Amino acid sequence: MSNRPSLPALLALVAVCTGTLLALRPAVGADAAAEAAAPAAHTARHGPAARPKSDLMGVYATLATKRFVDLTHSFGPDTPHWKGFGEMRVRTLYTIAKDGFHVDEFCHVGQWGTHVDPPAHFHEGRKSVDQIDPKDMLMPLVVLDVHEQAARNPDYLLTLEDVQAWEARHGRIPEHAFVAMRTDYPGWSMPVLKLLYEQRHIAASGHETTDTDGGLGATKDDYSMESYVLGTNHYQIEMLADLDQVPEYGALVMVTFPKPAQGSGFPARVIAILP
């Protein structure tokens, strides 16, 4: 006699198993619903799951409490500029009243208002505006303040002794700094620029004037100091504003500008973050 179950017995077993599974389905569905509701219930009780830790959020929270100082001049057709440049022109193309939106066309040279001079401004094959490393746009800010000396001598040029006096007060100028000269308007000197770029390894420099070179040199079309700075393949910022509002040391500086392809210069926005 065979030990295999008969067909009626198998059908009865299938019916029993099917009924058992159907009976279990509501319970399984309830469990699934409970599991789906669990995260929401946990969130309601304990708040959202913790985000991954980011050191930058702590940095941002600190910076958000600081004072920001704009070191940039607003520019327009009456902005002072180098003698060889033409005047700026502004033309309104569309107005809100007529077109529903406002668009102006600005026509000016790249070196207009507070602006960036990339190395390509003076030297073929060196960095253009679009090739400046973004890491060179956030730097420690160093201000060499000699406005009192310049007030006594309108042709005063920054000296090595001025830098030594600054370092006696604040320590060695840090590498990758942005060094701004406050004179209330005379210029740099070649020995100081060579010290800053060749020995202190700064990232960039800036000044309030329209030229790197002092007034005596610039009036004779001597731009050797500007050529030197840009020849190091570093950029500079000209026509800075409000350097009297920032400390000699301890602030940060953000330098921003658009990204024109192969640009030889462009207006910039420069902002100091005070300690």
Token representation of residue 121: 């401004």
pLDDT single digits (tens) 26-35: 444 444 444 4
pLDDT single digits (tens) 257-267: 999 999 999 99
d(CA 264, CA 116): 9
Which has the minimum average pLDDT: 9-13, 42-46, 188-192, 266-270? 9-13
pLDDT of residue 49: 66
Between the alpha carbon of residue 4 and those of residues 13, 14, 17, 31, the distances in Å are 13, 15, 19, 38
Place of tokens 């067909």: 7
pLDDT of residue 16: 37
pLDDT of residue 45: 58
- Strand bridging mode 103-107 / 251-256: unpaired
Average of pLDDT values for 190-212?
97
- Domains defined along the chain, listed by start: 68-81+109-273 (3.50.30.50)
Residue 145 has pLDDT above 80, yes or no: yes
Which residue intervals of the chain are DSSP H helices?
7-46, 55-63, 96-99, 147-152, 160-170, 190-194, 215-218, 224-231
Confidence label for 46 from pLDDT (cuts 50, 70 and 90): low
d(CA 239, CA 112): 9
The total of other beta-carbon atoms located within 10 Å of residue 225's CB is 23
Task: Indicate the pTM of the whole model.
Answer: 0.80
d(CA 236, CA 59): 27
